[in-house]
Amino acid sequence: MNAQGWDVKDRIGREAVGGAPAAASVSPSAPRPALLARLLDDEKLLALLLLSPTVLLLAAFIAYPFAMGIWLAMSNASVGNPGHFIGIKNFTKAWNDSIFRTTFRFAKSVTWLNRGLEVQSNR
């Protein structure tokens, strides 16, 4: 016990003598910390261990759908048909469609009108 009445123990739980931490014994019979405890003491490995679930979830729910969206936009895939890469043909086909261009112009004008009203209201 130290001056405050607390038991003083070193990192692996051995009693300390005189309030000072017990010195680690070098004898071969001294108990070694478990492998997991030694691995978790390494901060880089612990950081990797703690971040890996987050990285895997981000990859599964953000990166994979993003990559699949790009693939689907640049292929002729449809339901039941795996398709093959066609590049920007889908985009040129959409741009040459009169209904798409009319809708695009309308959306652009509504966006600019909204932006103009927003600027006016902030003055």
- 96 and 81 inside one domain: no
Question: Which stretches within the chain are classed as H helix?
Answer: 35-41, 43-58, 64-73, 89-95, 98-121
Are 74 and 97 in the same domain?
no
In a domain, 63, yes or no: yes
Q: Are 97 and 56 in a shared domain?
A: no
Q: Helix, strand, or coil here: 113? A: helix
Q: Which residue positions in the chain have pLDDT lower than 70? A: 1-33
Instruction: For residue 114, give the amino acid letter.
Output: N
Residues 54, 38 share a domain: yes
Task: Say if residue 42 is in the same domain as residue 75.
Answer: yes
Is the residue at 22 inside a domain? no
- Cα–Cα nearest to 74, from 93, 91, 61: 91
Indicate the number of domains in the chain: 2
pLDDT for the residue numbered 123: 74
Residue 104 included in any domain: yes
Q: In this predicted structure, what is the pLDDT of residue 76?
A: 93
What pLDDT was estimated at residue 35?
Answer: 81
Domain that holds residue 56: 32-85
| Separation between Cα atoms, residue 14 and residue 21, nearest integer Å | 9
Q: Are residues 67 and 99 in the same domain?
A: no
pLDDT of residue 86: 95
Q: 36 in a domain, yes or no?
A: yes
110 belongs to a structural domain: yes
**Spatial distance between the Cα atoms of 68 and 96, rounded to a whole number of angstroms:** 25
Task: Based on the fold, state whether residues 49 and 81 are members of the same structural domain.
Answer: yes
